[in-house]
Structures are given as structure tokens and as C-alpha cells.
Amino acid sequence: MRAAPTATAVAHPNIALVKYWGKRDEHLIVPLADSLSLTLDVFPTTTSVQLLPGGAQDVIVVDGRPATGEVLRRVTGFLDVLRAHARRHEPAHVDTRNTVPVGAGLASSAAGFAALALAGARAYEIDRDPTELSRLARRGSGSAARSVFGGFVLWHAGPPDAADADLASYAEPLHDARLDLAMVAVLLQTGPKSVSSREAMRRTVATSPLFPGWLASSGADVTAMRAALATGDLPAVGAIAERNALGMHATMETAIPPVTYRTHASHHVLDHVRRMRERGEQTWSTMDAGPNVKVLCPVSDASRIAAELGEVTGCRTLVARSGPDATVTTGVPT
């Protein structure tokens, strides 16, 4: 018997400048608000999908080890979404290789599900344009919708009364953005987090008294961020990104029970970035569902700023810039 051909895709993580925090629809993964991100040029994930005609079940391998528990459940659930679209039933062998530390708030699920969406769609012969692929990737992990595209990307929540919520929520690249931005990641901790972002955002929406205010302001943040990107206004981009991220952390820290991703080390970096700004550097912080801090700055200053933050913290730093679209690298011909 001839083995079924394999489709392989590569995707990069993205970091939101205006965050996604809270779902309108848990099953379809439709967010409560638009979000806006930068896809990075570091930490690619490569995923291969090979169909197993006659096989009994999916086989999922992550970084060389068989997946178990929640990861297995989520990947298999996503393959079920692909199979429903394709009206096919074969199980698949999925092999995914991350280069980003998993579960550390550096968006491994975004790159992972974007790569899986592209490779899986090709393997199951689902012919979709990139917008439609972003909708599919969203079903695996919300932020994966944004990793389908390179550069600055807007993910539409879609109107709350949309007749078809799935159709209304997709990502698109922002071609009018005029900014060459660097992001210095300060890798304070790279272990898995104690509370998943999925659970953390659910708890925040349900219990934080600060959440409605943050959600309302994030709509205005997207509008202001788009304008600042279009004019290349780095101080405005930095200020909006920092207040949006700190606001998001305030919402989860006031959930019941609280979710606290910020550690003493995170606060130390946040304070230092503020002090650098006071002495004239162009530096602004953002943080995701983990303790690591990412610092926005001009490309020309990035290695100097990374060196200073490395010295102050004793931790590894890494400079990222704008990265590419997710792509199918080898595949079953369509």
C-alpha cells in the first residue's frame, strides 16, 4: 500500500498590541472584541499532517513525543473540524515541532494551530483562501487566526448579532501599517503556566469587575492603534500597547479567584522599562498569559536595549521583528 502524501506548513507566533481576552462563543472561539498583533520572525512551528486511510485513530506527536491530555484533545478536536469541512473521515498523523518554549506566554498555540490549519487543510484537500484559513485556525486557538498572516494583523470579532458568527470572525493583514518595530523578549521563565489562558479568560469574563471597562476601552485602542500604525507613530503605538496589556492583567488579577501571571521579576522589568523611557529611550512593555515581558522599541535600538535588559535581569533576551505569512512548504498537490 502506498503511504498517503504528507502536507507540511510553517507558522510563526504573534504578539498582540491590542489583546484578545474573552470569548463571545466558547465553542466557535469567537472573541468579544477585535484584537491587533504583530507576527514575529522567531520561533517558527513546523507541522506535518499525513492522512491514515484505514487507520483507527489520530496519532499526534509534539516535539517528538506522543501528545496526551488536553493537547491531544484539542488537536483531535481541531482535526474533527477539518474533517467536517472536508466531509471525510480518515484519521491523521500529526507531527509538530515547536521552537518556542511551550506554555510560557510566547504564543506557541498561535503558531501551532496556524501551521496545523494550513497543513491539515492541504492534507484533507480543503481548498481555502487565507481569510478562510484564518477562520479555520481560529477554531483551534483564537490567536492562531492572526498567525496565518505576517506583519501587523487585525482579527475581527464580528458583530455581536452576526447571523453567522463563524463567518464574521477572521483575521486580515494591515497593509497600510508603516512601522518597522522591534520586540525584545525578556525570557524570565519558560516553564508551563499554572492556569491556561483559556481558563483564565473565562474566569476573568465571569468574575472581574474591571473587565467591562477594559473591553470597552480596547475597541477604542484598536481604532487608535490602526491610526498610529498607518502614520508610523511609534510612541503612540507603544503607549496604546502598554496600557492595553497592563489593563488586561488588571482584569485577570481582579478575577475570583485571581489569575496572577506577573511575578516579581515581571514587575522589575516593567519598572525598568518605564525608567528607561523616563531617560529618553523609546521602550514600552507588553505581556501575555505568562510572566515574560516583551519590550517594543525602534529596530535601530533593539540590540542595545536587549543587552541592558539582559544585564539587569540576568535572563536571556531575544530580538524579534516582523515575520512572514504562514506557508505550506511541502504538500499534497491541490
Among 270, 289, 296, 326, binds ligand 2P0 (CB under 6 A): 289
In sequence order, the 6+-apart residues with CB closer than 8 A to the CB of 13 are 39, 40, 42, 43, 45, 100, 106, 107, 108, 110, 111, 147
Min dist. Cβ of residue 156 to ligand 2P0 (A): 13
Complex with ligand 2P0: residue 94 or 289, whichever CB lies closer: 289
DSSP secondary structure code for residue 231 in this structure = T
Among 143, 218, 244, 283, binds ligand 2P0 (CB under 6 A): 143
* The residue type at 93: H
* The residue type at 44: P
d(CA 138, CA 141): 5
Min dist. Cβ of residue 138 to ligand 2P0 (A): 8
Q: Does 35 bind ligand 2P0 (CB under 6 A)?
A: yes
Min dist. Cβ of residue 292 to ligand 2P0 (A): 11
Q: Does 109 bind ligand 2P0 (CB under 6 A)?
A: yes
The number of C-alpha atoms within 13 Å of 230 and in the hemisphere containing its C-beta is: 9
Show the binding pattern over residues 196-215: x = contacts ligand 2P0 (CB under 6 A), - = does not: -xx-----------------
Complex with ligand 2P0: residue 4 or 287, whichever CB lies closer: 287
Complex with ligand 2P0: residue 198 or 321, whichever CB lies closer: 198
Contacting range for ligand 2P0; rule: CB under 6 A; set: 12-20, 162-170, 225-233, 317-325 = 12-20
Min dist. Cβ of residue 314 to ligand 2P0 (A): 25
CA–centroid distance for 191 within its chain: 17
Among 4, 6, 19, 67, binds ligand 2P0 (CB under 6 A): 19
Min dist. Cβ of residue 19 to ligand 2P0 (A): 4
Among 4, 10, 16, 269, binds ligand 2P0 (CB under 6 A): 16
β 152-155/65-66 pair status: unpaired
Residue bearing cell 515581571? 266
- Are the CB atoms for 145 and 16 separated by under 8 Å? no
Complex with ligand 2P0: residue 242 or 308, whichever CB lies closer: 242
Q: Is 127 exposed, middle or buried (0-12, 13-18, 19+ CB in 10 A)?
A: exposed
Cα-atom radius of gyration of the chain, to the nearest Å?
Answer: 19
Min dist. Cβ of residue 230 to ligand 2P0 (A): 21
- Are the CB atoms for 109 and 128 separated by under 8 Å? no
Q: Does 141 bind ligand 2P0 (CB under 6 A)?
A: yes
Q: Does 288 bind ligand 2P0 (CB under 6 A)?
A: yes
Strands, sheet with 35-39, edge to edge from the N-terminal-most edge strand: 14-18, 35-39, 152-155, 171-173
Interface ranges with ligand 2P0 (CB under 6 A):
16, 19-21, 29, 35, 109, 141-143, 197-198, 288-289
